[in-house]
Amino acid sequence: MEPVLVSACLHGVPCRYDGRATGGPGEVADGGRVVPFCPEVAGGLPTPRRPAEIVGGDGHEVLDGRARVLDDRGTDVTEEFLRGAHRALAAARRAGCGSAVLMPRSPSCGRGVVYDGSFSGARRTGDGVTAALLERHGIPVRPADPT
């Protein structure tokens, strides 16, 4: 089986914005080799960090320069999210990953649904920055079932 890029927090690494992990090793790769990766940490953000959401669109609009990623205090962290997404793509290519399993609703990793940028818990259709970049480069992304 081809390796699978997996959100590191889903693989038991405590790297979420709140300093926690979501899953444990081996819970999401269906028997394939797991390549754990956190694009937000790889982009230069600390753990823990302020929660962030995409404002003005989704990850595709961020990639196209039409939306930004802001934290809950209004600090623009778009560059860190873009840097992390590109590093995730490079890691996936280096490892030969044929797909990715990413954290649902995340502004980096969300696939199909992300928070809407209001910090109210509301959601919208769309992808996170890393999910959008991976998909654009032919790496299919599926969200993990949240635990």
Collapsing DSSP states into helix, strand and coil, what is residue 99?
strand
Nearest to 109 by CA among 92, 91, 84, 90: 84
Model confidence band, residue 22 (pLDDT cutoffs 50, 70, 90): confident
Residues 118-145 have pLDDT tens digits of 999 999 999 999 999 999 999 999 998 7
Q: Are 9 and 103 in contact (CB under 8 A)?
A: yes
Q: What integer best gives the mean pLDDT of the chain?
A: 93
Residues 64-73 have pLDDT tens digits of 999 999 999 9
pTM equals 0.94
In this prediction, residues 46-52 reach a mean pLDDT of 98
Residue owning tokens 């999210």: 81
pLDDT of residue 25: 61
Residues 62-120 have pLDDT tens digits of 999 999 999 999 999 999 999 999 999 999 999 999 999 999 999 999 999 999 999 99
Structural domain spans, the chain: 4-24+38-143
